[in-house]
Structure 1
Amino acid sequence: MPGQRWYTPYLFALPALALFGIFFVWPLATAVQLSFMKYDVVSPPVFVGLDNFARLFGDERFWTATRNSLLFMAGFLPLLVLLPLLLAVLVNQKLPGIRTFRMLYYLPVITSMVAVAVAWEYVFNQQGVLNWVLTGAGLLDRPIQYLLDPFWALPALILVEGWKSMGFYMMVYLAGLQAIDSTLYEAARVDGCTAWNRLWRITVPLMVPYLAVATTMAMLDAMQAFTSVYVMTRGGPQDATLTLGYYIWSAGFEHYEMGYASAVGLVLWVAMIVLALVNHRLTRGRS
């Protein structure tokens, strides 16, 4: 525009760029720097080169945490990519009270993860609601202490995290569903398409961009899982729920190995970028 200075747009973007620099660029640069240091918070940092990374790749607990995080992601994705889509299709109907249902279903999303984890601890307790229902229905011979069982602890955490986040992903899909032209469904009904065919041939192809976004977000959330692990299991039993997020916290704030924790965090950050790029590559041609 005439009279507009070249730097005017940058002035408007300056507050956002400043926040981005303070809360992302600076912490990232500090983490990269610390990953090459030995630093215990008390003593001055000492440069150790690639020693932290050499230790990392020979650390059995790191590989246990990596395996658990990948298992967490494998269980997390169906809960937050497929099931919320079906829920979104359901709540997209014009039914009495559907807005209230949407609001109630979204409540766990805005509830503190700490509060959610504490509540679910009572559900999974040996004398909790879940055991009471299953034993009462004759599906269990005796109660299970889910969070103390190496087989059940990780699935229990996946269920908690998935239940809390499902409403958010449902709303993402709902926004996509409401952007689809309703005349497509009307034409399909005239042609005699069943509800399943309309879902598979109209809804799913048009929702691919939203599925791609949801898949990326779910993968990143799964790889960073921390709060539920911290509150409910502390990585136990027998490291069965030791995730990369919790392992980084433990290394940094329990053992005060900030350099090593930064190295693990850097590897996790790179892994998350790779996962996001792979997902983008797989869905790019379909979105």
Structure 2
Amino acid sequence: MVQKAGKMSRRKMREGLKAYAFMAPALVILILFTIIPIIGSLVLMFFDYSVLGQTKFVGFGNFIQAFHDREFIISMKNSIIFVVIVPVIQILSILLALLVNQKLPGINVFRTLFYIPVVTSMVAVSIMWGFIFDTHGIINTMLSDWGWIKQPLGFLNSKYAAMPCLMFITVWQGLGYYMMMYLAGLQGIPQELTEAAQIDGANILQTIFKIKIPLLKPYVWLCSLNSVISAIGVFDVVFVLTKGGPNNATTVINYYSYTKAFGDFQFGYAAAIGAIQGILTTMLSIIVFVYGKRGGMTNNE
């Protein structure tokens, strides 16, 4: 009996070692490029770090500087404004999921077309939309040919239009991802529930709002949480198209931190900005989490 237990123990140990061996490459990459930089930034944010000069301990000086920095305040406001797209993208995604959940000819092609932007690099997507929004792009050319405008519209050059354009691109790129999430939720709803409702006289809208939407609440909570985190962390579309302009109209926290680190070489200050961004993301995520719990966004409520 003891011998058998020993063999089982050695077998479990071998299986455990095999599992760790398979995980080792990913763990090494995670430690090198995620864990160590996070730990380093936690230390760096309390220093006035200089690559060439002297590094000084400044305590909370970087944080105090941030809240007296006009450009940082603007970047924080712009990041919060970006969160406005969260309910928009969730509503559109649910509507699309309801549409592609129908048994129609060619519906799989439709699903694929909406998912293609998700698997396309945001840099490539941004460059494509940059050509479309250009003063000599498709939109301006069509409006000019139709006689609707006399001068080209500067979509990305206007402080009023640039941010909505970037938000539109973000919605367009992420729509397919959340659509597939909600589609998975819809296909997990028992068909008997909708059939029973229809037998009781419920129409399509009543079925959607009384059965399908309530049962999608856990997915709404998860997708909203992911969308808030992505909105606060937006970077690539700003970097490619506007560089924070015009006149800081599209400067967001992530991009401002990048410019301070690799433009002005203020690495300690950039680390402090990153920490504030993390706190802001956590606060908004907690709000979404608490709202989700109160709204019964779990499978058990």
Between the aligned partners of 2:123 and 2:87, the Cα distance in structure 1 is 23
1:129 counterpart residue number: 138
Measure the CA separation in 2 of the matches of 1:134 and 1:218.
33
The amino acid of 2:70's aligned partner reads E
In 2, are the aligned partners of 1:219 and 1:275 still within 8 Å (CA)? yes
3-state SS in 1 of match to 2:160: coil
| Contact 1:85/1:170 (8 A) holds in 2 | yes
1:184-223 matches, within 5 Å, as 184-223=193-232
Residues 1:103 and 2:112 aligned together: yes
Give, in whole Å, the separation in 1 of the partners of 2:148 and 2:86. Answer: 27
Aligned partner letter, 1:68:
N
Task: Quote the Cα distance in structure 2 between the aligned partners of 1:18 and 1:275.
Answer: 31
Counterpart mapping for 1:28-177 below 5 A: 28-43=38-53, 45-74=55-84, 76-134=85-143, 142-177=151-186
Which piece of structure 1 moves more, 1-10 or 81-90? 1-10
Who is 1:180 aligned against? 189
Distance 2:31 2:282 in 1: 19
**CA separation of 1:82/1:253 partners in 2, compared to 1, >3 Å: closer, same or farther?**
same
**Could you tell which deviates more after superposition, 163-172 or 39-48?**
39-48
- My pick for the range that moved more, 146-155 or 5-14, is 5-14
1:30-76 CA distance string (max 9 Å, x none): 111010011133345322111101101111111100111111111x2
Q: Which amino acid aligns with 2:41?
A: A
1:138–1:79 Cα change, 3 Å: farther
CA distance change for structure 1 residues 30 and 213 in 2, over 3 Å: closer, same or farther?
Answer: same
Task: Give 1:81 shift.
Answer: 1.1
Please say if residues 87 and 224 of structure 2, whose CA atoms lie closer than 8 Å, have aligned partners that are also in contact: no
Distance 1:92 1:45 in 2: 59
Q: Which moved more, 1:12-21 or 1:89-98?
A: 12-21
Q: What is the root-mean-square deviation of aligned Cα atoms in Å? A: 2.3
Q: Report the CA distance between 1:10 and its aligned residue.
A: 7.0
Matched with 1:284 is 293
Change (3 A) 1:44 1:167: farther
Paired position in structure 2 for 1:267: 276
Shift of residue 91 of structure 1?
Answer: 0.5
Gaps of 5+ in 2: none
Verify the 8 A CA contact 2:126 2:237 in the aligned structure 1: yes
Q: Decide whether aligned partners of structure 1 residues 92 and 256 sit closer, same or farther in structure 2, where only a CA change above 3 A counts.
A: same
- Kept after mapping to 2: 8 A contact 1:80/1:214: no
Note if contact 2:127-2:241 (Cα within 8 Å) is conserved in structure 1: yes
Q: CA deviation at 1:143?
A: 3.1
Q: Percent identity?
A: 35
Aligned to 2:83, the other structure's residue is in SS state helix
TM, length-normalised to structure 2: 0.88
Question: Could you list the per-position Cα deviations for residues 99-157 of structure 1 after superposition, in whole angstroms to 9, with x for gaps in the alignment?
Answer: 11111211111111111111111211123222344456676564310100000000000
What SS does the corresponding residue of 1:147 show, helix, strand or coil?
coil
More moved, 149-158 vs 16-25: 16-25
Shift of 1:202: 0.8
Higher-Rg structure is 2
Q: Distance in 2 between matches of 1:37 and 1:180?
A: 54
Shift in alpha-carbon separation, 1:44–1:175, aligned structure 2, 3 A: farther
